[in-house]
A and B are shown apart, each in its own frame.
Chain A
Amino acid sequence: MATNRARRRGSETVRGLVVGVAGLMLAVLGGTGAGAQERPRYGGELVFVVPTEPASYDGHREGTFALVHPVAPIYNTLLRFDPTDRTGTRVVGDLAESWTIARDGRTYTFRLRRGVKFHDGSDLTSKDVKASYDKIIFPPSGVISFRKGQYTAVEAVEAPDAATVVFRLKWPSASLITALASPFNWIYRADILAKDVHWYETHVMGTGPFIFVEHVKGAYWAARKNPNYWDKGKPYLDGYRALVVKDANAQVAAVRAERAHIQFRGFTPSERDSLVQALGAKIAVQESPWDCVLLVGMNHEKKPWDDKRARRALTLALDRHQGSQALSRIAIVKSVGGVQVPGTPFAAPPEELEKLAGYSHDVAKSRAEARRLLTEAGVPEGFSFSLKNRNVPMPYEPIAVWLVDQWRQVGLQARHEFIESTKWEADLRNGEYEVAVDTQCSYAVDPDLDLYKFQSMGISHNNYGRYTDTVLDELYQKQSRALDPDERKKYVREFERRLLDEEAHYAYTLQWHRIIPHSAKVRGWTITPSHFVNNQLDTVWLAE
């Protein structure tokens, strides 16, 4: 008996240990993913921090997360990114219940959900979707549409019946589904748009899980639960409040003092560490590669950067792997990546990245090659050039310090110019620079969005390298129209090889790293590589 009891007690201990370790692993690997298995709790007000405020309330004309974070929960979009997908690339229906794509890839037919009502009590129909997308794709004169250029393939939007919307395309578009899941493409009421197309710039009214209460400029946004939300059982929260806190230290202090549950954009590694140290088990941390990257832009109209050997030398000099380890301790950068966020469907696997100039682990060999190329290009030892950078400390400053140091290793002297953002942008746009820290950031991970910038000057409005490369332009078109993912992946790889290796038009530094330390009470929210998506808050709930 005693032996049996002891054995039973022993097995219980082992089982307890296994369960404990498994629980810990789940918590570590999945962040609040473990919480997704729990039964959501109703009630409570989510309080989060937004660092800045938008110019207007109209998602179609704005491009800032400062609008999406507090206002996205008021609206629905036609499609959305799956709120449980950490890659932020899997598209699911929001107002669209289902959709079909014609065999030629030029007709997309969406069936809308039934019983969806605007917060003013009117029914949502296909007319509203058509009116909203007409405003986005074919804006009337005097109306700004921030992302109009992403829908050049669309010929017409039709509403054949109250529950059906059809998008007719001029040519197949591999990214249309992603583009229709844009977190900015809120569906507005057609009648209101017909009366006043600017109404939504100053008013907030949608079909979303929350109803707008008030916005006190410079202070907060408030919204309450929509009791008639079409997705029965949601949302779980009674409401939310978005506090406008501009200062980064004050944002951290708000989370530390438990006055705010979360800030959805991201904190630095040191801020994360200080919160974890202060709050222990009360804080949960979710991290992800971020769909933003700082690039080295080289002005092809200035010598020696018109010579691809000199450009290749700049990228070959970078020890990205060591940089990743070191800089991730002090800055919001981490992964070594190519033109797509590591771990997402079209990203290059590590073994392929390794083959690109400057991505090898054999840094000595890369730097010897860089020196050889510089000599061949007639660039003397100690050659000095200016590195124009935007005076935003994080992560622009640490990246610049790292770049200057890396280039010193191959005998180049970069003079760091840390200039005001508006002047920096103007200088890059006007080609008044030699080498500059440039940036690329998208609202969603998709090759169309992430590669657009690198097409030839004249096609791309923000190709600050000032080059023309018809091969790249052609590859962009091919990947954009390739409906087969494998075929598209092949073209993206070719594009990447040409951009970063063969021509070295640009050099990628390190992928930004998104760090969200939040109250452990916040459940049902999953980090993605984009700080624009997954902010509808319909799946979010607060634990006891």
Chain B
Amino acid sequence: MAVERAVLGEVPEVVERGGWRSAALDFCRARPLGAIGAVVVAINIFVGLGANVIAPYDPLATDYGAMLGRPSAAHWLGTDAFGRDVLSRIIHGSRTAMLVGFSCAFLGATLGTIIGVTSAYFGGRADLLIQRVMDVFLAFPLIILALAVVSILGTGIGNVIMAITIPMIPRAALVARSSALAIREMPYVDAARAAGFSHGRIILRHMLPNVMAPYLIMLTAYLGQAILLEASLSFLGLGVAEPTPAWGLMLRGAAVQFAESAPWMAIFPGFAISLAVFAFNLFGDSLRDALDPRLRTQ
């Protein structure tokens, strides 16, 4: 019937239901936990972007009369050791977390994918060489490599982004390479080669678009990891420096000193980190399930 209507010039139902909105609705219905993750991620992004408007106080403004203040009507999540509003610092901290998270995840996943696909495409000695270099980086745990990089480059947001991105690249390259190895053998790649297209064109136009699914999965998975790493580095005093509002930074120093008498200084930023990482992981896992054809058919 549907085919008949289409022949008669009516818009087919399948076209009406297509597009992003429909895909999003399907995603929400099929994976409610992933949808919740996506909502929290969206809230995080919104809060980060609108921090200047949303935060009740200047996150840097000290009030020595209100030091170590309990949660109250004036300060919903209390104040820290300098009398700064904890809620405002968490809200502005989400900006730092999102900036570092998105930058690291995007750079790490993108550069890793390019390297992985290139390595798979050329194969042979080039592949061997690239993969052994990647193996060297993979031999170090993520946090250890990030610590090493930041101790060489120094602290600050730019260096922290670089420190977290570098260990992500080989991990992304490994995943992208394994996907690209299968694509390399596809007839259309052979056809492109036979047509005399350049290596760059084949990699960029014929292979990379076909590893988009793992790329998107890595992107979301790395977001959570990057936020956690940034918080870890800041907690260790190797990330961003005071008085910049950052979640990991809020957990160190006075938060540790006054953990017994002013626990809100550590509890709320810790909760913000957990929530953000949990949300990104939920979203990433659901996205993987939705995009991976093997899992989709199961």
Contact = CB atoms under 8 A, between A and B. Distances in A.
Interface of A: 268, 270-271, 273-274, 322, 325-326, 329-330, 389, 391, 393, 397-398, 400-402, 404-405, 408, 416-420, 423
Contacts, number: 66
B241 A326 contact: no
A401 B242 contact: yes
B82 A405 contact: yes
A401 B237 contact: no
Given A325-B64, A401-B243, 10 more contacts: A268-B257, A271-B257, A329-B67, A389-B241, A393-B253, A398-B81, A401-B82, A404-B60, A416-B241, A418-B237
The 7 closest A-B pairs by CB, nearest first: A326-B64, A418-B241, A270-B257, A330-B81, A416-B241, A405-B62, A401-B242
Given A268-B257, A405-B60, A420-B151, A330 B237 contact: no
A270 B243 CA distance: 21
A274 B260 contact: yes
Given A270-B261, A329-B67, A418 B155 contact: yes
A400 B242 contact: yes
Interface string B78-100: 00011100000000000000000
A417 B242 CA distance: 8
Interface of B: 60, 62, 64, 67-68, 81-83, 151, 154-156, 237, 241-244, 252-254, 257-258, 260-261
A90 to B, nearest CB: 35
B254 A398 contact: yes
B243 A391 contact: no
Contact of B64 (A268, A322, A419): A322
A326 B258 contact: no
Nearest to A249: B256
19 contacts: A268-B257, A270-B261, A273-B261, A326-B64, A326-B83, A330-B67, A330-B68, A398-B81, A398-B253, A401-B242, A401-B243, A402-B62, A405-B62, A416-B241, A416-B242, A417-B154, A417-B155, A417-B241, A423-B154
Residue in A329, A393, A418, A420 with the greatest tally of chain B CB atoms within 10 Å: A418
Contacts of A405: 60, 62, 82, 243
A398 to B, nearest CB: 7
Contacts of B242: 397, 400-401, 404, 416, 418
B195 to A, nearest CB: 54
Nearest to A325: B64
Residue of B154, B243, B252, B258 with most partner-chain A CB within 10 A: B243
Contacts of A274: 260
Contacts of B154: 417, 419, 423
A416 B243 contact: yes
B243 A330 contact: no
Nearest to A269: B257
Given A405-B60, A408-B60, A397 B155 contact: no
Contacts of A402: 62, 82
A197 B68 CA distance: 55
Nearest to A417: B241
Contacts of B68: 329-330
A418 B236 CA distance: 11
From A268, A391, A397, A402, residue with most partner B Cβ within 10 Å: A397
Nearest to B260: A274
Nearest to A323: B64
B22 to A, nearest CB: 48
Contacts of B60: 404-405, 408
